[in-house]
């Protein structure tokens, strides 16, 4: 049975309070069937790696035109994403890397990070009927975060994410923008297998009693840089499936990393 538009609106408000659903992950029945955390191609030592600065990472983020201006709109994440990890926390420390990854923040120990949002261009520019307000949100928005690490910090960050997926499988709570959100389940999902390591997970987020909504996150390491991707579609909150992270966004972003 579909949730009412009121429930969807309530979910939208809940997500917006956490800065437009910087929350991610969740689990769906489909993701339960996928036991893969993606290809782990790690092996190359990076002990001498030097972290890039935030300014350098900004230049490596996807820019307008990288994916086709007519299909995607790329915007700065400063106004929609948290600026530091102190703004998004969990009492369960082992679950925080999951929260940070979905919020486009570094999942590991570094201050060098940058983020932006990549939105699908709407199919129509016509004004939405007030009664179909929720349908106006039927576009995918992907939060992209880049973070860079010294030495083997990137590998440690990836391990923290993988460990968090296992440790937090039964759910956890986190706080963002003063609002507490309950994740009822975390499941592994099939990752893209790109980069040197990739981990994907789906989280089921409780929508204030209206049932869970499912959200996907993927974290990819390329050298000593980590890219995180979280895709949200507010109009799809009724669905038992999480919005898919567009493969072309992952490929294009990783293609800009050294």
Name the residue ranges covered by the structural domains of the chain: 5-255
Residue 153 backbone zone (phi > 0: left; psi -120 to 50: alpha; other: beta):
alpha
Higher pLDDT, 31 or 207: 207
Q: Which residues, in sequence order, are bridge partners of residue 181?
A: 174
Higher pLDDT, 251 or 88: 251
pLDDT band with cut points at 50, 70 and 90 for residue 104: very high
Residue 79: what pLDDT? 66
Distance CA 248, CA 258 (A): 18
pLDDT recorded at residue 1: 36
- pTM for the model stands at 0.80
Q: In the predicted model, what is the mean pLDDT of residues 24-41?
A: 38
- Do 25 and 217 contact (CB within 8 A), yes or no? yes
Ranking 126-130, 150-154, 156-160 by mean pLDDT, the lowest is 126-130
Question: Beta-carbon neighbour count of residue 171 at 10 Å?
Answer: 19
| Mean per-residue pLDDT over the chain, rounded | 79
Q: How confident is residue 49, by pLDDT bands cut at 50, 70 and 90?
A: confident
DSSP state at residue 72:
E
Contact 213, 205 (CB under 8 A): yes
pLDDT of res. 30: 35
Strand stretches in the chain, DSSP E? 72-76, 88-89, 113-120, 141-148, 172-176, 179-189, 197-206, 212-222, 225-232
- In this predicted structure, the answer to whether residue 47 has a pLDDT above a threshold of 90 is no
pLDDT one-digit tens code per residue, 187-212: 999 999 999 999 999 999 888 777 78
177 or 201: which leads in pLDDT = 201
């Amino acid at each position: 049975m579909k949730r009412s538009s009121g429930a969807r609106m309530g979910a939208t408000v809940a997500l917006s309070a956490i800065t437009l659903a910087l929350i991610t992950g969740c689990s769906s029945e489909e993701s339960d069937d996928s036991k893969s955390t993606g290809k782990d191609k790690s092996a190359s030592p990076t002990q001498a790696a030097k972290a890039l600065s935030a300014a350098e990472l900004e230049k490596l983020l996807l820019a307008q035109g990288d994916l086709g201006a007519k299909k995607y709109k790329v915007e700065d994440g400063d106004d929609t994403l948290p600026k530091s990890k102190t703004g998004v926390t969990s009492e369960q420390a082992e679950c925080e890397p999951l929260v940070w990854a979905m919020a486009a923040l570094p999942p590991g120990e570094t201050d060098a990070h940058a983020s932006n949002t990549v939105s699908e261009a709407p199919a129509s520019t016509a004004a939405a009927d007030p009664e179909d307000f929720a349908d106006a949100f039927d576009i995918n928005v992907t939060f992209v975060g880049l973070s860079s690490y010294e030495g083997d910090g990137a590998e440690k960050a990836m391990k923290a994410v993988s460990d968090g997926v296992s440790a937090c499988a039964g759910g956890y709570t986190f706080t963002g923008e003063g609002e507490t959100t309950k994740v009822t389940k975390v499941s592994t999902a099939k990752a893209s297998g790109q980069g040197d390591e990739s981990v994907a997970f789906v989280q089921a987020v409780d929508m204030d009693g209206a049932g869970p909504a499912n959200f996907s996150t993927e974290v990819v390491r390329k050298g000593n840089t980590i890219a995180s991707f979280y895709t949200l579609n507010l109009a799809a909150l009724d669905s038992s499936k999480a919005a898919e992270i567009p493969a072309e966004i992952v490929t294009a972003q990783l293609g800009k990393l050294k």
